[in-house]
Amino acid sequence: MRILFLGDIISKSGRMALAGGLGALKARLDVDLCIGNVENAAGIFGITQKVIDEIAACGVDVMTSGNHVWDKREGLALLDSRENLLRPANYPPGVPGRGFVVRETRGTPFAVINLQGRTFMTPIDCPFRCADAILEEIPQGVKIVLVDFHAEATSEKQALAGYLDGRVSAFVGTHTHVQTADERVLPGGTAFITDVGMVGPIDSVIGVRKEQVIERFMRALPVRFEVAEGAVCICGLLVDVDDATGRSREVVRVREEIEIHEEQ
């Protein structure tokens, strides 16, 4: 199975890039399954039904998220109603939604697990132990298991990837929006990248207009953030997994620049 992971899809800019470029990219890379992180998809923070429908129509099959998925009230109901939409599994019991899903594509079963880090982030439940518990729950016959780890610290991402090496097919970091150049297949067969990057505007600070972020850093006053304009990059990771063993054979970092022509 050939799987394309997309980094955090940033607001309208990211959605327009998917509408303009994802179909051709998937065809060129011969993608069977596309996974994308949507926590920043609606107005930078959170999700709405319209936005989730739009991203699904662009060809994203399973959507993961992170700390910002709670930011729009409308999104909470979606987490309960949409089976292909995940929130991090290691939030405490009682929060809306689900943290992993088992589905199939072209007759091959696969699982997607969404986890979130605790270093420099809200100290939720342990992602290591949560991953162990979920892997116990996933049926033995499901060989292809994919993890989105939404975390700030590169060390925490690399540590959890090492902990899960050989037990999951691919482990992809999200949240920092800056693609790292360390993609590889770990010794146990797990495809890995510390951060897959974003689907968002290139001339920005992690998707936001530069001058607003500079103002925030220089004066430490609250600033309203808006998505930047201009050309967008679709950052992702292509993983080729052996269906029979669930081990990754190949990993390719993807970075595609898309011109946005429509008024934002």
- 66 or 201: CB nearest Fe ion: 66
- 15 or 175: CB nearest Fe ion: 175
Return the closest-CA partner of residue 103 out of 81, 132, 83, 130: 83
The conformation of residue 69, written as its DSSP 8-state character, comes to G
- 66 or 97: CB nearest Fe ion: 66
Q: Which of 68, 150, 175, 177 is catalytic?
A: 68
Helix (H) / strand (E) containing 74 = helix 73-81
Q: How far is the CB of 166 from Fe ion (least distance, A)?
A: 27
Q: Where are the beta strands (DSSP E) in the chain?
A: 2-6, 8-9, 33-37, 62-64, 100-105, 108-116, 144-150, 170-174, 184-185, 191-193, 198-201, 232-241, 248-258
Cα separation, 150 vs 109, in Å, equals 23
Are 138 and 100 in contact, with CB atoms under 8 Å apart? yes
Q: How far is the CB of 150 from Fe ion (least distance, A)?
A: 6
In the numeric block, which tokens belong to residue 59?
């060809």
Query: Which residues of this chain interact with Fe ion, rule CB under 5 A?
Result: 66-67, 175
Cα separation, 105 vs 62, in Å, equals 11
Active site residue 68: yes
CB hemisphere CA count around 165 (13 angstroms): 15
Q: How far is the CB of 137 from Fe ion (least distance, A)?
A: 25
- 11 or 169: CB nearest Fe ion: 11
Q: How far is the CB of 161 from Fe ion (least distance, A)?
A: 18
Active site residues: 68
